[in-house]
Amino acid sequence: MLSNLTIRPAISADTPLILEFIRGIAIYEKLEHQVVATEELLRAELFGDRPVAEVLLVFTDETPVAYAVFFHNYSTFLGRRGLYLEDIFVKPEFRRHGIGRMLLQHLARLAVDRCCGRFEWTVLDWNTPAIKFYEELGADVLPEWRICRLTGASLQRLAEA
């Protein structure tokens, strides 16, 4: 375990660091070609009048080592909101020090404190180390659920239909 680990909510001045983490996770997931976010867009969406998500940053001393982006969703079955983890990323050189576990525990406590009915996220099917880690934490990986996504021209076509 690294010493002097701290977790804190991101502020607007952290936007360049958040974009750096986004690019880092995109490279790891082999999806860097999909990153079109800019500092300006992130600043407006995360720190504007109606923030759409929250960001946590993890530091060891003054060095940024990890981040998480999350927001609330809603379960009609539970009649309660949930906490949805969009991204969690630990820089490769800081892995295997308990940082990911610590960040997930922090988010779980936040979900409980906010009376959330569930805490959810997705994992790529090829990311077996992450799947194993999540299962060891007690998470259920739901193979029967598939993500459906509309973007770009398909989204526009449906909106105009």
For domain 5-160, give its CATH number from 3.40.1350.10, 3.90.1150.10, 3.40.630.30, 3.30.200.20: 3.40.630.30
Distance (Å) of CA 97 to CA 90, 91, 100, 102: 10, 11, 8, 9
Determine the pLDDT at residue 146.
87
Per-residue pLDDT of the chain (161 residues; tens, 9 = 90+): 567 999 999 999 999 999 999 999 999 999 999 999 999 999 999 999 999 999 999 999 999 999 999 999 999 999 999 999 999 999 999 999 999 999 999 999 999 999 999 999 999 999 999 999 999 999 999 989 888 999 989 999 999 99
Helix extents (H) in the chain: 15-28, 39-47, 99-113, 128-136, 152-160
Determine the pLDDT at residue 117.
97
Determine the pLDDT at residue 24.
97
* CA 146-136-80 angle, 5° bins: 55
Q: What are the domain boundaries of the chain?
A: 5-160
- Bridge pairing between strands 80-90 and 119-121: parallel
| Pick from 82, 64, 63: nearest CA to 72 | 82
Q: How far apart are CA 126 and CA 50, in angstroms?
A: 35
Q: How far apart are CA 51 and CA 63, in angstroms?
A: 26
Does the annotation count 134 as an active-site position?
yes
pTM, full prediction: 0.93
Q: Any idea which residue has 């990911």 for tokens?
A: 100
Determine the pLDDT at residue 3.
73
Q: Which of 28, 74, 84, 134 is catalytic?
A: 134
Q: How far apart are CA 108 and CA 95, in angstroms?
A: 20
